[in-house]
Amino acid sequence: MIFRQLYEPDSSTYTYLLSCPETGETALIDPVLDTVDRDLEVLRAMGLRLTTTLDTHIHADHLTGARRLKSLAESRIAAPAMVGLPCADVGLREGQPFRVGTIELHPLYTPGHTDHHHAFLIDDGTHRMLFTGDALLIDGCGRTDFQSGDAETLYRSIQEKFFALPGETLVYPCHDYSGRRVSSIAQEKDRNPRLGGNKSLEEFLEIMANLNLPYPRKIAFAVPGNERCGECPPEIPEEYRGVCDHDQG
């Protein structure tokens, strides 16, 4: 498997490139509209053909690059099936592996950050890679105070789906705000300040209720835009419109 971790600094978002060397099929997990041109240049430089984009959930802090990439690279758009996005070509469901050539991704339904959040697990028998989206972060976890978030649901998703995996499973989150790139299930179970050390549900709920984080500055246009797979909505503020100049397709 060909693998690259790409970064978008404004929203501190990681996009993951996965490519099958046997077939040339390539996927991008959680692409960002701001870095579509960068992503296409990476693909060209590596001689790869983008076939699918996959979003873990409807993001509130950035616009997905899925729609523009479909327009420019003729890739399919994959998103959680339960959202029922008319713009999606593929609905992702737990229990139904998604293939990128010979690579098999296993969607894991992990609600809590949103009610439709899905992570992706690759397990080839030797290596395990877990793309956790916004559910589990390095030394943290996704927020539960907007959209359809629920702290108790997120706690159970992480404990029952993620922390049940072998400790050596590598954790690749959608975001990191401190320059960290990868963790492991063992590390997060041991030292994650919100969930590690066998924290109880009650302790977790107390922590989440007192985060006092600022509201995502792009949420007003990111959510409706991402419900249309990354279309720039009319209400996007002028300061963010630059990325929309050659949008729509």
Question: What is the reported pLDDT for 8?
Answer: 98
Torsion of CA 202, 204, 207, 209, to 10 degrees: -70
Query: Is residue 137 included in any domain, yes or no?
Result: yes
pLDDT at 246 over 80: no
Query: Is residue 248 included in any domain, yes or no?
Result: no
pLDDT at 191 over 80: yes
- Residue 107, Ramachandran bin (φ over 0: left; ψ between -120 and 50: alpha; else beta): beta
Question: What is the reported pLDDT for 60?
Answer: 98
108-143: pLDDT as tens digits: 999 999 999 999 999 988 889 999 999 999 999 999
Percent of the chain past pLDDT 90, that is, above it, reads 94
pLDDT at 97 over 60: yes
Q: Please say whether the beta carbons of 50 and 25 come within 8 A.
A: no
Question: What is the reported pLDDT for 248?
Answer: 44
Question: What is the reported pLDDT for 249?
Answer: 42
Domain hosting 164: range is 2-243
7-63: pLDDT as tens digits: 999 999 999 999 999 999 999 999 999 999 999 999 999 999 999 999 999 999 999
Residue indicated by tokens 């699918």: 52
Count structural domains, the chain: 1
Distance CA 174, CA 4 (A): 13
Query: Is residue 111 included in any domain, yes or no?
Result: yes
User: Does the predicted TM-score (pTM) go above 0.75?
Assistant: yes
Query: Is residue 205 included in any domain, yes or no?
Result: yes
Tally of CB atoms within 10 A around 245: 7
Q: What is the CATH number of the domain that holds 226?
A: 3.60.15.10
141-190: pLDDT as tens digits: 999 999 999 999 999 999 999 999 999 999 999 999 999 999 999 999 99
Distance CA 11, CA 13 (A): 5
